[in-house]
Amino acid sequence: MGRAIVTKADVAKERGVALEAVQPGAPGEADGYLDRLVKYVPAEVIALYLAVQTAVEGLQRGGQRQVGGILVFAIFVAGTWFWLKKTGVARTTQIAISIGAFAVWALATSGGPLAAFDLAADARKWGAVLVPLFTFATAPIEPGR
């Protein structure tokens, strides 16, 4: 299973059949709801971000911690795009949703860039609300070419 989402249109084109003949979620068919949900969340990027963010939070000076936290978050937002491209994701919709998923998960798990300003507790509370809402809203989206 690759990272790129396989749509019904992809399967129909590959097999030379009508779009209506393709069943989502069946083995060897287009990705269903749960497959898209898993592929939208860049778990490996989030894991690496959390490790780096923990080191940044350990900085003693507030100014260094603030700049470092914002810089690390920005680097990982851009890094998510590069990582997805490297792993074969070509659709802009999937990349945009995955970057949004990274931002929401970073907010929910570490406070994201707000942790640098001692707002991590509030950010995590909002993140706990945003993760299910974001997931519910985006997982049904089937990206087009």
The answer to whether the beta carbons of residues 98 and 80 sit under 8 Å apart is yes
Confidence class for position 62, pLDDT limits 50, 70, 90: low
Share of the chain above pLDDT 70, in %: 86
**If we measure between CA atoms, which residue out of 121, 96, 105, 41 comes closest to residue 73?**
105
Return the SS3 of 7.
Answer: coil
Alpha carbon distance 112, 42 (integer Å): 15
Q: What is the pTM of this model?
A: 0.83
Q: How far is CA 11 from CA 38, 55, 111, 115, 143, in A?
A: 19, 44, 40, 43, 14
